[in-house]
Amino acid sequence: MSQDYVIITDSTSDLPQKRIDEWGISYIPYKYTLGKEEYEQYLDAKRGMSAMELYDNLREGKTGTTSQVTQHRYIQTFEPFLKQGKDVLYMCLSSGLSKSYEQSVLAANELNETYPDRKVITIDTLSASLGQGLLAQYAAEAQKNGMSLDDNAEYIKGLAGRLQHWVTVDDLHHLRRGGRVSGAQAFLGSMLSVKPILIVNHKGELVPYHKTRGRVKSLEYLADRVAEFIDEPSGQTIAISHSDAAEDAKKLRDMINAKCGKHDFLINHIGPVIGVHTGPGAIALIFLAKERIKVDKK
């Protein structure tokens, strides 16, 4: 087992704490604001506000915001490992969703100069939630199998380019607040029970892709995308993350199994940092394909 480097990601990876412990992954808690209060998102349900508490607050009309991680905070996170004689492989939330990656690169450059015998590699995962989490898990597994730091970084970059993220939301008004749809679109869509399908594209941006009528149709559409795009399904873990929509996540799992045969699934909630933007009722489906969908923002 290669233990000369550590794997670090963010709490936006939404991995269950059990998997974090199992694979020895470290993570940076991201901060978010709900109302006038600032919180940190932890993957341990016993620390901070739970995802379910967040969604209850959003249903009551509270709004949330997020901010990027600073260069200084990255240095505070990475430097102790370098002092222990370990290198760092860091997998960041998509640069298409946050400016944090830019700050991580600045921190890595500074630390690589300060510690010339050590190395910090930061990777733009172009992913969020369990997409980011799956990549961290793949990296930990590769490390366990003896893969070197540099080879692992290239391996994860390759996987990041193949990881498809399909998303549907139950309430368009949260997307309106985030600038994804207009106020008129949100109003009419809600009146007509339109459920948008979005993807995280090849640039790591969340972009509209399709529309369905009704929740069941949106889940069926997602299941069909697995049948259409999944690559080397044998042994692959399919991830489903949800914002307080556990039953719909299970329905989607069952639809995929019915259409594509039995698969291994990782199902977990979307944490507060991503959840303040999606709102309650979002479902995200993540799996490996030959490549990502290439669609630019309009």
pLDDT at residue number 172:
58
At 254, the pLDDT band (50, 70, 90 cuts) reads very high
DSSP 115: -
- pLDDT at residue 174, as a whole number: 56
**Alpha-carbon span 8 to 16, nearest angstrom:** 15
**pLDDT-derived band at 1, boundaries 50, 70, 90:** very low
Averaged pLDDT for residues 58-62 = 88
Q: Which amino acid is at 286?
A: I
Q: What is the CA radius of gyration of the chain?
A: 19
**CB-side neighbour CA atoms (13 Å) of 205:** 12
Contacts of 216 (CB under 8 A, 6+ apart): none
- Long-range CB contact pairs, 138-142, < 8 A, 24+: 139/7, 139/89, 139/91, 140/7, 140/23, 140/24, 140/25, 141/23
Who has greater pLDDT, 179 or 39?
Answer: 39
Which of 78, 125, 76 lies closest to 98 in space, CA to CA?
Answer: 125
> Which residues are within 8 A (CB) of 262 and not within 5 positions of it... i.e. 6 or more apart?
none
Distances from the Cα of 149 to the Cαs of 108, 109, 211, in angstroms? Answer: 15, 17, 42
Q: Which amino acid is at 257?
A: N
- Report the run of H or E that residue 199 belongs to, with start and end: strand 194-200
User: Can you list the domains of the chain with their CATH numbers?
Assistant: 5-30+69-160 (3.40.50.10440), 163-288 (3.30.1180.10)
Q: Which two tokens stand for residue 206?
A: 């969340």
Binned at pLDDT 50, 70 and 90, residue 47 comes out as: confident
Mean pLDDT for all residues in the chain: 90
Query: In which band, very low, low, confident or very high, does the pLDDT at 186 lie, cut at 50, 70 and 90?
Result: very low
Predicted local confidence at residue 181, as pLDDT: 47
Which residues have CB under 8 Å from 155's CB, separation 6+? 138, 139, 142, 147
Neighbours of 94 (CB within 10 A): 24
Checking if the pLDDT of 4 tops 70, the result is: yes
- Burial class of residue 283 in the structure, from the number of CB atoms within 10 Å of its CB (0-12 exposed, 13-18 middle, 19+ buried): buried
Nearest to 262 by CA among 290, 220, 234, 223: 234
Instruction: For residue 298, give the DSSP letter.
Output: -
